[in-house]
Chain A
Amino acid sequence: MAKVTDIVLWDKPGERVLLLGNHAIARGALEANIAVFAAYPGTPSSELTDTMAAVAEKAGVYMEYSTNEKVAFETALSAAWSGLRAMTAMKHVGLNVTADTFLSAVGMGVEGGFVIMVADDPSMWSSQNEQDTRVYAKFAQVPVLEPSSPHEAKEMTKYAFELSEKFKHMVILRTTTRISHARGDVVLGELPEEIKQAKRKFGDFKKDPSRFVDVPSNARRFHPIILEKIEKIREELAECPFNWIEGKEDAKVGIIAPGLAYSYVKEALAWLGVDDVKILKLGTPFPVPYKLLEKFFDGLERVLIVEELEPVVEEQVKVWAFDNGIRIPIHGKDYVPRVYEMTTRRAVTAIAKFLGLETPVDFESIDERYKKVSAIVPPRPPSLCPACPHRNTFYAIKKAAGPNAIFPSDIGCYTLGLLPPLKTVDTTVAMGASIGVAHGLDVALNGVPGEKETKEKKKIIVATIGDSTFFHTGLPALANAIYNRSNVVIVVMDNLVTAMTGDQPNPGTGDTPHGPGKRILIEDVAKAMGADFVEVVDPYDIKATYEVMKKAIETEGVSVVVARRVCALHRVGEMRRRGEKWPIYTVNEEKCTGCKICINAYGCPAIYWDAEKKKAQVNPLICWGCGGCAQVCPFGAFEVMKEGE
């Protein structure tokens, strides 16, 4: 088992390796001779971006962690305009951030292949909503490719570049969590010479204002061109190597299975022991190639479409069937749930119902027996790490602002401040929204200076936002709050990495995959924008953090507090690699009175309650040595464990 970054660069065509879907896509991009890659990390897309960062220098690829998806898109798009093969990657909600540029640029087309990798997260394992990128693709009239396995993800990436270049149209490669975060056997292909020799490729931008300036007169020309192109692409896709018909040729029933659903359908059919069906495996859920539908529907009496989330394929198929006078029953979302991710169980259940069979496993009986289990298993939601600096920040905020203050927060690990005992997160909507929401709440509840009427007794509003999120979309919201004379406290929880997605750098850390970038200090930005109070504090010093919060709350206007301390997980990882040790705390049982402040107010996962002794205890395997517990305990019961204990 070699290192992933080595495998992705291996010059071993034909070698069978185990790769995560995201790693496989990175390899596919290299096999396609990519020149520029730009992205903002977002689960479940991040490993593609990180892999590109790790191999960029060795492959001669320009790679950047952009500040948000929109600017990443613009970076890659411009490279594609310049004739280079370029790619951007994001999670589904990232496409919303990009949407303005994305939808406007479609009509301009591209010169080099441009692939937009979008990772959807059905069932929302790590996301704020469940959206189906295929709907966006249809909206924008951009073809979408959807792999059914990690190997196919790699192959499709190469094909996506070719398709994009052929039609001078951007292409979406859409994955879901179970492709991006599934490992599968992948067969390596050839790497181009330029990648092997790490040769940086430069493009050539040919000026053409009639194409690259979307003033209304030009944009008016684009729309019909887009519609024409997509119909040509629809025809082309009948020959796409990722679309095919299989199974029994003269079967009376057919199943259409796009993307990953194909895998579940295959498994379900094997499990049910059914082989009397015809399958249309669709790698291109939009646009669905009509020619293939003609061939597939021939002789069929009933059809089932098994697709995850929205009925994107179903609607196209039904419209096509209606227009062509085909009146056989076509089932889809009436048998397959429209919410949450597809599973083999869901595929088996839908197909069994469609064919009038029993499911091979009595799922209902499992559910029945499982009811009892779910009642006695304690919940274990994710939590802020032990030694997370921002447990302390939240603790200090709550103490300074009081429980009646309102706490808008943002997207990142710190959203976990929502959980008891901290409970210092009242709203979380989207990247950067905490500052906008804080200002809106101030307007709605308090009123701002200059207005005829404002509230006497003002509600305290303290927003929290991470360092990367601050640069992502926090900046315009901060400008807005300052400009419109808000009275809010904005706490930037700066842990010096984009922690939740895997420790990527951002402008606040300054480093880039190609070496040092220019570091931007959050406090400098806040000062330059004209915030009324700006201070930096170390959250490992809880008392000092509390004092600064107090002052920030008392200051009229926009206060910005930068709570800066490196991410604990990141720090511990680096210390482990260097073979360093950190202090481990323990409870002096004589001093512990059992007051439970450390558990009920602070809530470090390394601290647990010994019900027999009625004392707090520290799990030494989880303690990362921040000493927050020692600062929080009124009785001084937490002490550093001595060597050898």
Chain B
Amino acid sequence: MKAKVVRNITWIISVLLALIWLYPFVIVLINSLKTKSDLFSNPLALSRPTFGNYTEAFLSLNYVQSFFNSTLITVTSVLLITLLASMTAYALARTHGKISSIIYYLCAATMLIPFQSIMIPLISLFGRIDFLNRISLILMNTGLALSLSIILYYGAFLGVPASIDEAAMIDGANTVKAFFSVILPSVSPMTGTVVILNAMKIWNDYLLPSLVINKDGMYTIPLRMYFFFGENNSNWQLALAGLVLAIIPIIILFILLQKQIMQSATEGAIK
């Protein structure tokens, strides 16, 4: 009897907490579907939904272009990170020389440096050679993400027995071919983690793109959203519709890859 009461109470608490946690999203969604006057007369109430805000926000966010820019930058950066980090980590995991351990500790040490401690010289260095554009943004994303990704991959490669390397080599493949056809696929769960962690970070990033990208047509979603929100600070219904449009791609991705994303988040923190 007592156990049942306890169970019911925990159930009620859980549901309440879940509702509180989702409330910010719900209230944003509800108000993004209102007219300006409905929103201002009472943002707490429900009203007949109108989708006009979405068409307007979609157009003035330049949504298709911003989405394309975000995707281009995220995908290229993540590809480069995965490629370079896995190769380097593998070379470090399979050699025991002094150089390898110096490089490994160098990676660990650079992880201590907060972005704010390098952003001023980084931007002025690239600005001086007139190289602030999407390519340099991709290179910066990669450089900043490599250390953590190398260390994550390093741990995974230590778990791959050396006999697999030898078997791959006996088949007559050279090091590069053996790596890509046999060894890298054997750590694909870690590749998943590295891809997800970096993709989320790069997709959501605002600070670095705001410093590097200065051409309107190259804005990513967070950059565009920042300016859009500022322009519409008295048109909440529009600003909120834009906000929902900016959140949608992340939520869709999360619904598709829920388990992997939550697993990667835990792994990235614990290792």
Partners in one complex: no
Q: Spell out A's residues near B (CB within 8 Å).
A: none
Q: Spell out B's residues near A (CB within 8 Å).
A: none
